[in-house]
Structure 1
Amino acid sequence: MSRTVTAPTAATPTAPTPEPADAVDALELLSGDAQTFRAKVWASHVHIHYTDPADLVGLLSLDDVDHLLTSVALRTPALRVVKHGSVLPSSRFTRSATMAGSPLTGLVDARKVLDHFDDGATVVLQGLHRYWPPLTRLVRELELALGHPCQANAYLTPPGSQGFARHSDTHDVFVFQTHGRKQWEIVEGGEEREVLLEPGLSMYLPTGTPHSARSQEQTSLHVTVGINRLTWRQVLRSVTDRVLADERYDAPLPAGYLDDPAVLAEQLAEQLASYADGMRSVDAAVVADERAAAFLRERTPALRGGLTDRVGLDALGDETLLERRPTAACVLRPGEEGFEVLLGDRALRMPARLREPMTFVRDHPTLRVRDLAPWLDEQSRLVLVRRLVREGLLRIAG
């Protein structure tokens, strides 16, 4: 979705005084060194990193899971129950209810879930990035750091139990423990190794790494962040589809080729040569830019606090402290007229005269409205900032 922002007027420059922000880097948190991870670890081998346990436990604690199970109206498929390696039918842990006279189905029955847990079942909370704010932020930051879609699940396992037998996933994962300990058995390079996962340790497993895990003497809670790789096959297929959209490829195969395949072979050689020419004419830089832009405008919006911000818009003033919403991107790209600001779930079209103030917004995690005075008068900067709050790029910090 693209939106156009009306240009405010310019003002006399004054020196900006932004306040620094304390931002969490998701890839740094999980890998220890984002640059090294991208260059040397990504998609190649298992990686283990130790960090402050509080930083990981704060993302999803045992008490948080208690709250979700007992005090939130979860519905399937947000929760699964696994016993002896098999996923139980949802009918064994759900119930029906009504809301305002309308039926609700698939409602998680907390008592049934807890009873299954007592009986040795693993409880799986799925898609937590969609509704649990700390993991929403972690996943969004990880997506922006890697350029690949991510998701988050959690696994609550009773003492001495194993949810799934040894298996391998079709996506990369980061796993980290937030309660108890879990013994992992993984296979890398044909050799088995054991890793005891405990709070403070995160582990990266590339796609296809065989693994299994068993909780130890305590209840175990761990989070799995899945990374759904975008592959060269997907990109090349999209390029191929673009080339093959030429109407010349709608022509039928020659009649009678069943009796004389050489007729087909001759014309196929001509078509392959034409196809190869079409592929060579593709501008790789344009395709790469389009791929990145699509990723930065098609994510699901994450607008935690958006209502509070909108209610507070009327009180916005020159001294109001604002911060960039951590779940939003802020990427500036040239457009047909002016430029675009890619936010992760949409794109804003802006006139060229707003590039400098928007560059300032991009480069400063926090700012006060008055910091835009070098480029915009008071009324104009309030107009711009209010729009950025409404669009979800900025949020009111104080």
Structure 2
Amino acid sequence: MSTVPRTLRDTASHAESRVLETRLIGLSREEFATSVWGRVPLLTRGVGDFSDLFSASAVDELVSRRGLRTPFLRVAKDGDTAPESSYTSPGGVGASVADQLDDTALWRSFADGSTLVLQALQRTWQPVTDFAARLGTELGHPVQANAYVTPPQNRGFDDHYDVHDVFVLQVTGTKRWIVHEPVHPAPLRDQPWTAHRAAIADAARSEAYLDTVLEPGDVLYLPRGWLHAAEALGAVSIHLTLGIHVWTRHALARQLADSALALLREDAEMRGSLPLGVDGPGDDVDFVRRRLVAALAEADPAPLFHRARRGQARPAPLGPLAQLGALDDLAPDSPVRLREALEARLVGRRLATRVGWLDLSEEELPPALRVLDGGTHLAGELGLPFVERLLRAGVLLPAAS
């Protein structure tokens, strides 16, 4: 059996379900990848209606009926973030968690000009959950979704840059966006804009790269590092920001170095002590450098990369009661499907996923390959013991018949 990794091809990666080209950009995937991705902003007008993803009624439901806690919401005005205590309170009898959202306090802040930022919507709002999972699978990079709800004629944040790429989807209202070129191109996650305040302030006074008004249905793509500020105009503005937490060559270098260091742990000479009374690296640094270079040439960062990637996002939701029902009612004609966004990979006989790994028998390999190819399968065609095992592991889900 080949040990070449086999990557899951789930519903989110099927051509007919792709969301990048159909809902975010007016270019082909290839043109976007070669001319835009990570390089320059892209404004696409009139892509479509985003009300199926988010809306004003969704804001009201999340704020007033879902019992959300911090940090699922923050409040900002004129570049400052409000303290959490100013918009949270205990949940009442039987729910004495102290940091639940206080809808009255939030209303007063909003009426006073504050922007409400609903964070991590990929965890709290199902349409956004599904969309973010599909986009993340297509791009190969984790996706986070926030919503920004800004009163008329107000600005939530001053000029700044993000350490991730973003797609801005204007849902309702209009918002003016002013974009300037980077002062620190392609920042890493530990290189925030606050370290460049003076340079950003100077750049914000220069001629803008883009000064435009987004209307409902417009999409703006910004690579990480591009400066931006936005202000709502004549009505309440709601926009979704899809943050793409890109993998970088620097991250890959770190994983390569970690893999090399793991190899050097098995080298007795590298485990040896430096000379007595050492006060610096001395002559040993040349020896260590040679061994490190040799280990780098031998190291394989792929296992660390895929392990880290699996940890950067969550798989599609799993309902425990539906899962138990599927096990109780399991029969040869029971339809099942692979759980989406699992990042499943079969290496040899090990099936690695975001919910753990399973070592498969030789007999289980053929049905595993069928599962990885996507689609719905009947349990009897895959083998009832195999299906039961993957249902219990949370790898398979019951599918609609």
Whether the TM-score (by the shorter chain) exceeds 0.5 is: yes
**What's the TM-score, normalizing by structure 2?**
0.78
Alignment of 1:1-398 (within 5 A): 24-28=17-21, 29-31=23-25, 33-50=28-45, 53-54=48-49, 56-100=50-94, 103-188=96-181, 191-244=208-261, 245-246=264-265, 248-251=269-272, 253-254=274-275, 265-282=282-299, 286-296=300-310, 299-329=313-343, 331-335=344-348, 339-369=349-379, 372=381, 376=382, 380=383, 382-390=384-392, 391-398=394-401
Deviations 1:238-274 (A, max 9, x none): 332343443544555556676xx8xx55432233223
Identity of aligned residues (%): 31
Q: What's the offset of the Cα at 1:129?
A: 1.4
1:209 and 1:298, CA in 2 relative to 1: closer, same or farther beyond 3 A?
Answer: closer
Q: CA deviation at 1:154?
A: 0.9
Q: Which runs of 5+ in 1 are unaligned?
A: 1-20
RMSD value, Cα = 2.9
Secondary structure of 1:194 counterpart: strand
Question: For the Cα contact (< 8 Å) 1:79–1:126, is it kept in 2?
Answer: yes
CA distance in 2, matches of 1:22, 1:207: 27
Following superposition, the deviation at residue 121 of structure 1 comes to 0.7
Q: Deviations over 1:279-299 (max 9, x none)?
A: 2232xxx32254225423674
Alpha carbons 1:79, 1:125 under 8 Å: kept: yes
Pairwise CA distance, 1:388: 3.5
Which has the bigger relative contact order, CA under 8 A and spacing at least 6?
1
Q: TM-score, normalised by structure 1?
A: 0.79
Q: What SS does the aligned partner of 1:57 have? A: coil
Q: Report how far residue 79 of structure 1 moved.
A: 1.0
Separation (CA, whole Å) in 1 of partners of 2:54 and 2:47: 14
Q: Provide the C-alpha distance between the structure 2 equivalents of 1:86 and 1:196, rounded to a whole number of angstroms.
A: 23
Matched residue of 2:99: which SS? strand
- Judged with a 3 Å threshold, the aligned counterparts in structure 2 of structure 1 residues 34 and 292 are, in CA distance, closer, same or farther, namely farther
Of structures 1 and 2, the larger Rg is shown by 1
Pairs aligned (count): 357
Contact 1:57 1:199 in 2 (8 A): no
SS at match of 2:291: helix
Aligned residues of 1:172 and 1:206 also touching (Cα < 8 A):
yes
Q: Which runs of 5+ in 2 are unaligned?
A: 1-13, 183-206
| SS of aligned partner of 2:54 | coil
| Amino acid across the alignment from 1:193 | L
Per-residue CA deviations over 1:164-192 (Å, capped at 9, x if unaligned) read: 11111111111111111211111247852
Deviation at 1:130, TM superposition (A): 1.8
Residue 345 to residue 314, structure 1, CA distance change in 2 (3 Å): closer
Q: 1:256 to 1:296 in 2, by over 3 A?
A: closer
Change (3 A) 1:88 1:297: closer
Question: Are 1:321 and 1:369, in contact at CA under 8 Å, matched by a contact in 2?
Answer: yes
